[in-house]
Amino acid sequence: MTEEFHKKAIQHHIFKLIGDTSRDLGIDCYVIGGFVRDYFLKRNQPKDIDIVAIGSGIELAQKLALKLKGKPNISVFKNFGTAMIKYQDLELEFVGARKESYNRDSRKPMVENGSLEDDQNRRDFTINAMAFSLNQKNFGKLLDPFNGLKDLDNKIIKTPLDPKITYSDDPLRMMRAIRFATQLHFNIESNSLRAISENRERIKIVSNERIVDELHKIILSKKPSVGFKLMHQTGLLNFILPELTALQGIEEIEGQRHKDNFWHTLEVVDNISENTDNLWLRWAALLHDIGKAPTKRFHKKIGWTFHAHEFVGSKMVFKIFKRLKMPLNDKMKFVQKMVLMSSRPVILSQEYVTDSAVRRLVFDAGDNVDDLMALCEADITTKNPKKQKRYKNNFKIVREKIIEVEERDKVRNFQPPVTGEEIMKTFGLNPSKEIGIIKDAIKEAILEGEILNNHDAAYQFMLDKGKKLGLLNTSNKDSK
């Protein structure tokens, strides 16, 4: 065990106060886990700090709260033997050192009091098992029984104990291993990677909420494909997002092949991640082609087709969110919308861009038109430099056309220049289908460029349309 001291890491006055408080109680305590790991990684220090006490963590937290200025609130979770104090910009979580054992059918451990060694043994990875002493006798001493510091230097994700047992006991750790490897650009140690593959079916006992939490962190990493490749390699992905693994593979019939849409999708996610931190836009990139597996067909005359894959994919988004217990709210609707419209700008970029086509794109996309364009540009994965240049130039033309049309025609978040109330008043109508017919006709005329998007043009068009529908005879004096 190293004798190194790192007082610089714990120079914040709160650590000295915690140490003094534990001494008053006659117990030892340590800061452990992510805070220690990130200190050596020279990352921004996390605001959530784990303190392990060789005794009652709750009692330590309660006594500390009495000493802190402002007497901060303390949250006690007796069932878990933990307590949390929010102090200034820190979240301090206290727990007594414990020893854990597991039932095969649950990832919830049976807990008993233990030593620091027991507590470090139960940690998921060696890099998260390191601890700094907060005790007067050796304040700042690093306790690193599993050489986590060496694994940090070698960029290795490794479990303290037998990985087969570690992952079987708590299968969420398999997702955490992949998440840390993705976030930190580390490699998962070979025995550990093999153990994930062997225990992949155990992921079934983990709640979808916890899995999604790890998925979000992977998707928000600098290069999400790293995590998805590892999930695919170990077989985890087939239990979490089988719609993605269904995209893998290339079929060839009569010399005609299609691209591997699984690996293409991972490229798209990486591409869009270079330009946005929007979690839901990254989700849209991940799911933009999921409709291609169920819609794939081969026709002798035209080859491989994926007709209506955007529509099918948008419906699949709902099923995926529901299955994973993700929120069925505006975020999901945004992902659905992006998937449904994902080919629209592509089609525009391959032909002469008409004003009416751009108006319809802006009308349908609304405030999400820029996100949609970002998604479509990320979808360019060709390795042919000439094709890539041409596609990007074409999208540039579409973007310029969007700006031009939007400035002139104002169809983003379109509001009808003539309201239903005005139509009823003009023609002396009660609520009826004719009102909807006229409103739709005005909208179409604006989108097609037949009339300007203003009240006078729309009002005159309304009168003409009403005349064709035989409504002028019933109009009131205001329409004359």
Domains of the chain: 7-154 (3.30.460.10), 155-240 (1.10.110.30), 420-479 (no CATH)
Tally: H helices and E strands in the chain: 24, 15
For residues 237, 344, 279 and 314, what is the CA-based torsion angle, rounded to 10 degrees?
Answer: -50
**CA–CA distance from 155 to each of 223, 225, 307, 318, 325 (Å)?**
16, 18, 45, 38, 33
Which SS3 state, helix, strand or coil, does residue 457 take?
Answer: helix
In sequence order, the 6+-apart residues with CB closer than 8 A to the CB of 349 are 376, 391, 394, 395, 397, 398
What's the rounded Cα separation, in Å, for the pair 195 and 203?
13
Residue 147 near residue 126, CB atoms below 8 Å:
yes
What's the rounded Cα separation, in Å, for the pair 373 and 367?
12
> N- to C-terminal Cα distance for the chain?
95
Each residue's pLDDT, cut to its tens digit, for the chain (480 residues) gives 457 888 888 888 899 999 999 999 999 999 999 999 999 998 877 788 999 999 999 999 999 999 988 788 899 988 788 999 998 889 999 999 987 666 666 666 666 788 999 889 989 999 999 999 999 999 999 999 999 999 999 999 999 999 999 999 899 999 999 999 999 999 999 999 999 999 999 999 999 999 999 999 999 999 999 999 999 999 999 999 999 999 998 776 666 666 789 999 999 999 999 999 999 999 999 999 999 999 988 787 777 778 889 999 999 999 999 999 999 999 999 999 999 999 888 777 766 678 888 888 888 888 899 999 999 999 988 888 888 888 888 888 888 888 888 888 788 777 888 988 999 988 888 888 889 999 999 988 988 889 988 899 999 999 988 888 888 654 444 443
Residue 21 near residue 64, CB atoms below 8 Å:
yes
